Amino acid sequence: MKLEKKFKPRIKARIRKNKQEISKKIDSFFDWIKGAELVELNKCNTDEDPVRPELDNIFRRSYGRKIYGVKYGGEIHAVMCFAYTNKIPTSVIELDKFSHDAFLLSAQRDQNVGQIAIAYTVWSKKKGGGKLIVKEVFKKIKKSNHLNRLVTLSPLTEMAFKFHSKNGAKLLQVNETTQNFEYKVI
């Protein structure tokens, strides 16, 4: 009985301390998410890209293609690259062709490139960054006056499938080397 009384206060103290530490970690996690902002980038470190490191910054910024990052504390914590098209590509070659065509058509019209935003790569250096950048880019697309779809050109991996499914996208099609998911823009 004496031994039980001796250990109970220690256990309760340890539980209290652990709760405080977990609470601090959760607060600091949400601080970075609340303080992060979506920014357009002129370049990114393509060596960090786990999906398409072979695509250089010239490709990523040509013909209306864009690079976006989630910035917090002066650092970029997540990156997503887009091409604007009028058709859904099934390969990087089609992505290049379709975005080039949409860019040329926009020169004849109102400078709005394409109707579909194709996210062809995304990566995060900080926990929660991938989900956050998808959410922020989604908001940006909803506000645009010419984009009506957000579709991915994802690799054929289980990780890509789980990531997009968990974030609310629906599988559109499975191609020879890629898969397309769509986030509903309403």
CATH of the domain at 163: 3.40.630.150
How far apart are the C-alpha atoms of 35 and 70, rounded to whole Å? 10
Query: Both 82 and 171 in a single domain?
Result: yes
Same domain, 31 and 117: no
Q: What pTM, to 2 d.p., does this model score?
A: 0.76
In the chain, % of residues over pLDDT 90: 48
Distances (CA, A) of 128 to 4, 12, 44, 90, 172: 42, 32, 19, 28, 25
Residue 85 tokens read as: 């098209």
User: Both 23 and 60 in a single domain?
Assistant: no
Q: Based on the structure, what is the number of domains in the chain?
A: 2
Range of the domain at 82: 38-183
**Is the pLDDT assigned to residue 26 strictly greater than 90?**
no
**Residues 156, 177 within the same domain:** yes
Q: Tokens for 178?
A: 């890629």
pLDDT at 108 over 70: no
Could you report the per-residue pLDDT of 78-101, keeping only the tens digit for each? Answer: 999 999 999 999 999 999 999 999
